[in-house]
Amino acid sequence: MADAVAEVITKYNAVIDYYKQGSIECSNRSYVFEEWELLIAASGSLRSLTQEACADYILATQGTEPIFQERSDASMAALQFAFRALAYGTDTLPAPPSQSVLDQVLGKVKPAYDLFKAAVVEQNTMNVVLQGDNVAVQGTEVKKLYFAEALASLASFPVGRLEAGLDQQFRVNQMVKLSFMFIYDITATTTTLQNSIAEFDAVHRQLKDGGPDIPAIVDQRDDLLSQWNRVDSKWQELKALLLTQSVADVPNLQTTKEALIQEMITLQGYFAIPDQPVQETFPWMFVAYGAMGLFLCSCACGAVYIHLLSRKKQTNQNQNGWNQA
């Protein structure tokens, strides 16, 4: 115990010396591909959780099932954990790599998050939705900083696919939230929901066929194409439910959304794998068929040539015979 106490005191003295320096900027960190992937996924998770927390809050305040309140409490806790992880890191998630990112998280995301929590306490549904969207907007700026720094560190970082995939996960949670708002008469229009559906459909096709900054799925990526098809199947199921006006469809909406999100998370993992360049191989098959064709053509020409020589010789012999006669 005495040895342990001495070690603790030594470490505390080191901490005190650090704080004596006053307010100083953090030095930038250098991360590998997997760490950048975790950081960017964390920023995307924060944005998606804002919409999920709003949707669950709507169910908790408008619905009658006790499970709705439990889900709302769980999503609020998940959102708080996601914010703290983004700001300070965890055992598995690296801390922000630069002072600019930390400033964005603490100076922009935190105030927006505090306003969101205050709106929840006040039980003002429209303000909860508004402040939740504001947290998502500030999270978008963090995501942009992460992508910019990742690309500066790793030139081959697959920004297009990863960013589009994160945005799609956000849209799914956003669409379900908007659907709940329509079901419970918090809004009387579905225009925003329909626009979100159209945006999801457009990006969903681009993730397969290619689009601005998004490469198409190449023939060599059967794994990626197969997972995209799984996402497409779940998306068609959710799309059919989004414009429902029935409270009875709420549990099915949640279940279908969760299944789709899981497939999208798996797809995001495939997006992180860069496409391997197709290696050009020497066309031996064409050479073989060409050589065979040339050989057969030579044989045919040779046969014709021999036949002509034979006929010419025979003609000469007949002419000599007539001359002698």
Q: Which of 235, 254, 275 is the last residue of a domain?
A: 275
Q: What is the mean pLDDT of residues 282-295?
A: 60
Is residue 76 included in any domain, yes or no? yes
Range of the domain at 172: 158-275
Does residue 324 sit within a domain?
no
Looking at the structure, tell me whether residues 164 and 145 fall in a common domain: no
Tell me which of 130, 155, 180 is where a domain ends. 155
For residue 164, give the nearest of 102, 105, 226, 209 by alpha carbon.
209
Residue 134 and residue 169 share a domain: no
Q: For residue 278, what pLDDT is reported?
A: 53
Residue 319 in any domain: the answer is no
Give the pLDDT confidence of 65-118 residue by residue, as tens digits: 788 899 999 999 999 999 999 999 999 999 998 888 999 999 999 999 999 999
CATH number at residue 77: 1.20.120
pLDDT at 52 over 80: yes
In a domain, 1, yes or no: no
Looking at the structure, tell me whether residues 167 and 149 fall in a common domain.
no
Q: Are residues 100 and 128 in the same domain?
A: yes
Contact 110, 87 (CB under 8 A): yes
Distance CA 32, CA 9 (A): 34
254 & 267 share domain? yes
Q: What's the Cα-to-Cα distance from 243 to each of 53, 80, 177, 180, 246, rounded to whole Å?
A: 20, 30, 12, 10, 9
Please state which of the ranges 108-117, 150-159, 259-268, 301-310 shows the lowest mean pLDDT: 301-310
Per-residue pLDDT at 251 exceeds 60 = yes
Residue type, 158: P
Is 78 found in the same domain as 175? no
Q: Which of 207, 212, 197 is nearest to 230 (CA)?
A: 207
Highest mean pLDDT among 234-243, 268-277, 278-287, 288-297: 234-243
Do 197 and 117 share a domain, yes or no?
A: no
- The number of domains in the chain is 2
Q: State percent of the chain over pLDDT 90.
A: 59
Instruction: Take residue 14 and report the two structure tokens written for it.
Output: 């080191």
Distances (CA, A) of 9 to 1, 3, 12, 19, 230: 12, 10, 5, 15, 56
Mark whether 198 and 266 lie in a shared domain.
Answer: yes
Asked if residue 218 belongs to a domain, the reply is yes
Q: Are residues 193 and 139 in the same domain?
A: no
**Could you read off the pLDDT of 192-211 as tens digits, one per residue?**
999 999 999 999 999 999 98
Residue 170's φ and ψ, nearest 5 degrees, are -60, -45
